[in-house]
Amino acid sequence: MRIDLAPILSEADELIAAIEVKSWHCSVNAAHACLRAMPSPAWAEATPGLAQFGPGEWEANQAVNLLRRLVMAALMAFTDERRSWEASDEWPKPTGLRAATDRLRSICSGVVIVEVQEEASA
């Protein structure tokens, strides 16, 4: 696989930890570092418009892009001048970030997590 997922996972874990301890400074820096650890969204395109993926790379790319969107959304929230990010403020739980990180981690270990919806019995 041409994507090194380990640094991305490490930075994502740092972001989750920073959010959980309600540190704006650490959260902003961790979000920025997580984005920097990711390859360009066009990394698989040697020729514009023609992405080529090796074994497992398409799934990894999808998982990285989901994580990228969640990290960017968090960074947008952290930089909203109308919002206060004091430790005493209400902070969102990093549930989506954790799920995206877990999915990416499962790709690293070769285990793909499949979401199963339970059907309601009548």
**Alpha-carbon distance 36 to 50, whole Å?**
24
**Alpha-carbon distance 73 to 27, whole Å?**
12
pLDDT at 120 over 60: no
Domain positions in the chain: 5-42+49-108
pLDDT score at 1: 77
Q: What percent of the chain has pLDDT over 70?
A: 89
Q: Tens of pLDDT along 32-62?
A: 999 999 999 999 998 988 999 988 899 999 9
Tell me what the mean pLDDT of segment 7-27 comes to.
97
pLDDT at 109 over 80: no
pLDDT score at 121: 37
Which residue stretches of the chain are H helix? 5-20, 24-37, 57-78, 95-108
